[in-house]
Amino acid sequence: MAAAAVSLNALTKRFNAAPPSVNNINLDIKPGTLVTLLGPSGCGKTTTLRMIAGLEIPSEGRIMIGDTDVTRMPPERRDVTMVFQSYALFPHMDVYSNVAYGLRVARRPVAEVKERVAEALALVGLGGFGDRRVDALSGGQQQRVALARALVMKPKVVLFDEPLSNLDAKLRRRVRGEIRALQQRLGLTAVYVTHDQEEALAISDKVVVMNAGRIEQIGSPHDLYHRPASLFVADFVGRANVLQAQWDGHAVQLGEMSLPMDSPLPAGPVQLILRPEGVRLARNGEAGLSGRITDLAFVGGATEVSFDTALGQVEAAVLETEAAGLCVGDTYRLAFDRSSTHILPANAV
């Protein structure tokens, strides 16, 4: 399986007179990496994926797979396979026939088909499942059949269109780990579409955050979470408190509280992005921002606590061991961890 680079140059897609669904995006994907297109419904991520697959033709721009311009090339000539949200399996066929379908259409020799189907089923942990009916399989097993059908063609690029959205939360976590492990083991180039930010952060080498047909930010999961380039990214990738503050070039001033930070921004008004896990109860003698508890919600290993402060509402994720005894109406001083903070210009959106 020879992985290939994917390059999108000034890619645009319009449907009738509506605003562009995808608007002048540029993206380079290295061979053997998994890149996720992340964003809300209607942001253009699925349309972008369908253009790479050849299921939609761009209004403008160019798509390169490896050294080949595939912009106007039909899907069957692109050496790309797709794993769909609905699995798109043939219910009247058994597992073997579903996986073998593309090879049979390509008129590959019977012996080769048997060998490659057996190999693909083994890769996804379904060896020995060839004679089973697909409608008798669990959702997770059906998704593995769909993945085997994609891999059996030995494509240069594998595309995933929200492949786990039909699975329950626990199974979704397990299958996404299997997809990531398989992608890394085989060195696949993969483009993955989801609206689930946790899923995107967990499996990706790079994440492309899209909004209204445009790319908001491209980066590693760590960079997007800790250094969002806009309020949209900060709010969409995880949860964030946004506080108005003053930056003096060395520290952020939050009322009487000063938080030393590093930033290239000029001195003046800024917006402080503060992750809930970076909010904690101040220790004895430690400076902090006064806040009154307005709500408590136990969510497992942590308690989500809402505080009313002079700077607005602040959400905190307090460890269970520290949350004992907290009550609505109580007032505490809040301290912020620098590793969970980031500042943006006052006019950033």
CB atoms within 10 A of CB 336: 25
Cα–Cα distance for residue pair 243/254, rounded to 1 Å: 8
CA 259 to chain centre: 31
* Contact between 31 and 3 (Cβ < 8 Å): yes
Q: Choose among 192, 184, 141, 130: nearest CA to 166.
A: 141
Domains delineated in the chain: 6-232 (3.40.50.300), 239-345 (2.40.50.100)
Cα–Cα distance for residue pair 348/334, rounded to 1 Å: 25
Mark the ranges of the chain whose per-residue pLDDT is less than 70: 1
pTM (two decimals): 0.91
| pLDDT attached to residue 221 | 96
Q: Which residues of 6-26 are buried (b: 16+ CB within 10 A; e: fewer)?
A: bbbbebbbeeeeeebbbbebe
* Contact between 274 and 245 (Cβ < 8 Å): no
- Tokens of residue 334, six digits: 């809040």
- Provide the residue type at 207 as one letter: V
| pLDDT attached to residue 1 | 59
Cα–Cα distance for residue pair 108/199, rounded to 1 Å: 36
| pLDDT attached to residue 18 | 85
Q: What angle do CA 167, 172, 176 make, to 5 degrees?
A: 135
Question: What are the CA-CA distances from residue 341 to residues 144, 218, 231, 277 (Å)?
Answer: 40, 19, 13, 10
Q: How does DSSP assign 135-186, residue by residue?
A: GGS-HHHHHHHHHHHHHTT--SEEEEESTTTTS-HHHHHHHHHHHHHHHHHH
Tally the residues of the chain: 349
Cα–Cα distance for residue pair 302/304, rounded to 1 Å: 7
Side-chain-side CA neighbours of residue 17 (13 Å): 0
